[in-house]
Structure 1
Amino acid sequence: MNRTIIPLIILLSACSANRAIPQASYVELINEVPDKSRCRYLGEIVGSQGNWFTGDFTSNENLIIGARNELRNKAYQLGGNVVHVQNMSNTNAWGSLGTTNTTVVGKAYRCR
């Protein structure tokens, strides 16, 4: 295989959004605090996509989707099915062409 193709393949794969594991795709992201009489708090979680190297090559849409998918994955690993999204932030690396990282912070819950 041509030596220039391998770095290109790695770079292009870094540009796609983090994937949600199949079971985590059912985790619901909400903006309001869930009904605490129906939900048990499991913990605070953080999802992130992008870095100073791959961020410029990843679309803003994939940065957001990837961060949200990572949040879903972490909630599912805790046993959660709902995430109250508390904050989302975008950062730019020095000298970048735009957003290089998206981070989403939330609280995971198990709701009936």
Structure 2
Amino acid sequence: MTARRFAVLSIIAAVLPACAAIQATPTGEKVQIITEKPAATCNFLGEAVGSQGNFITGRYTPNENLLIGSRNDLRNKAAALGGNVVQVIETYRDHASLPLRDTHGTTNMLVLGRVYRCD
């Protein structure tokens, strides 16, 4: 195998797994995502940011996977804080553009949330 072929195959092997959505952990799967403020009996634990994508792999990742992956990352981080509910506050999409070129679509998705423990 030539060095050039090996380099191309290495790049493909690195990019393809990055195109899949981040998976929720077993505890992250139990975290409920909401958009409204939770009940007054819930305890606020902090804020967390979920994200997926970057300027390299984001160009090759479907927007749906960027969104699902960033939400799963948020759920995982909320679970790590001890939360079981996360209120999504804002969703951001980043776009990459190259000099002298048009925008190349969404490359990174960020989801900001407030983490709560509700009984």
Q: TM-score, normalised by structure 2?
A: 0.88
Moved more, 61-70 or 95-104: 95-104
Aligned partner of 1:30 in structure 2 is: 34
Percent identity for Structure 1 against Structure 2: 49
| Deviation by residue 1:51-93 (Cα, 9 ceiling, x = unmatched) | 1111110000000001000100000000000001000011101
Higher strand share: 2
For 2:61, which of 54, 58, 63 is the aligned residue? 58
Aligned partner of 2:114 in structure 1 is: 107
Pairs within 5 Å for 1:40-51: 40-51=43-54
How many matched pairs?
Answer: 111
Alpha-carbon offset, residue 22 of structure 1: 1.4
For the pair 1:70 / 2:73, whether they are aligned, the reply is yes
Alpha-carbon offset, residue 5 of structure 1: 2.4
Q: Point out where structure 1 has 5 or more consecutive residues left out of the alignment.
A: none
Q: TM-score, normalised by structure 1?
A: 0.93
Aligned partner of 1:83 in structure 2 is: 86
Q: Which amino acid aligns with 1:92?
A: H
Moved more, 2-11 or 99-108: 2-11
Specify the structure having the higher radius of gyration (Cα): 2
Q: Which amino acid aligns with 2:60?
A: F
Q: Which amino acid aligns with 1:100?
A: T
Aligned partner of 2:17 in structure 1 is: 13
Aligned partner of 1:98 in structure 2 is: 105
For 2:26 and 2:52, how far apart are their aligned partners in 1? 18
Give SS of 2:55's match: coil
For 2:23 and 2:10, how far apart are their aligned partners in 1? 22
Alpha-carbon offset, residue 6 of structure 1: 2.6
| Deviation by residue 1:26-59 (Cα, 9 ceiling, x = unmatched) | 100000000122x110001100111111111000
